[in-house]
Every structure is written in C-alpha cells, then in structure tokens.
C-alpha cells in the first residue's frame, strides 16, 4: 500500500521513503488510460493505487540511500527549488 503520510499505528512499523522510478509494459499502460480512478487514488492522490486496485503488481526495491538526501520533483513548484540547489 502507498500512502502520502505515515499510517497511524499503535506500534512502530517500518516506513520507507518512496523514490519513484517507473517502467511499464505498453499494454498495461494503455489499459491504465481506461481504468477509472480508484477511491484510494482519489483519496491519496497516488496513481500507483490505480494499478493495485486493478490487481496489477508493483515491484518495489529497497535502496540504501547511504545518508544522502533525495530531492523530489513531483510538481511544477518543485522545479525552482531543485534548480536553486543544483546551480
């Protein structure tokens, strides 16, 4: 399951920072265009949840960041912030 914020739990559970690098099979990507936006996708704003609601597999791989910070480029407003850091 993917969620924007941490899931409330009574006990600690492992959480991972999502680094999205996607590769799609052409036929599945074409199918995606015709699938309805799922309830969870609307709630969380995460397109990955549409694949899960259609019973498609998503492969996740754990990556060791070695203490490095990840910059996220998800929205147009992120561009200026990242350009400032790398210039």
**For every one of its 87 residues, what pLDDT tens digit does the chain have, with 9 covering 90 and above?**
566 666 666 777 777 777 777 888 999 999 999 999 999 889 888 888 999 999 998 888 888 878 777 777 878 888 998 898 888
Cβ–Cβ < 8 Å for 44, 56: no
- DSSP three-state, residue 76: helix
d(CA 63, CA 72): 16
**67 lies in a domain?**
yes
- Residue 11: inside a domain: no
Q: Which DSSP symbol is given to 63?
A: -
pLDDT, residue 50, reads 93
Q: Residue 74 corresponds to which tokens in the numbers above?
A: 């998800």
Residue 47, burial from CB neighbour count under 10 angstroms (0-12, 13-18, 19+) = middle
Q: Which domain holds residue 49?
A: 26-86
Structural domain count of the chain: 1
Give the position of tokens 């006990």.
Answer: 11
- Position 14 scores a pLDDT of 73
pTM exceeds cut of 0.85? no
């Amino acid at each position: 399951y993917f969620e924007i914020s941490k899931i409330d739990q009574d006990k600690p559970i492992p959480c991972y920072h999502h680094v999205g690098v996607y590769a799609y099979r052409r036929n599945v990507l074409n199918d995606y265009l015709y699938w309805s936006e799922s309830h969870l996708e609307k709630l969380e704003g995460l397109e990955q949840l549409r694949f899960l609601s259609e019973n498609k597999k998503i492969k996740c791989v754990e990556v060791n960041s070695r203490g490095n910070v990840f910059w996220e480029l998800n929205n147009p407003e992120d561009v200026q912030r990242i350009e400032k850091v790398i210039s």
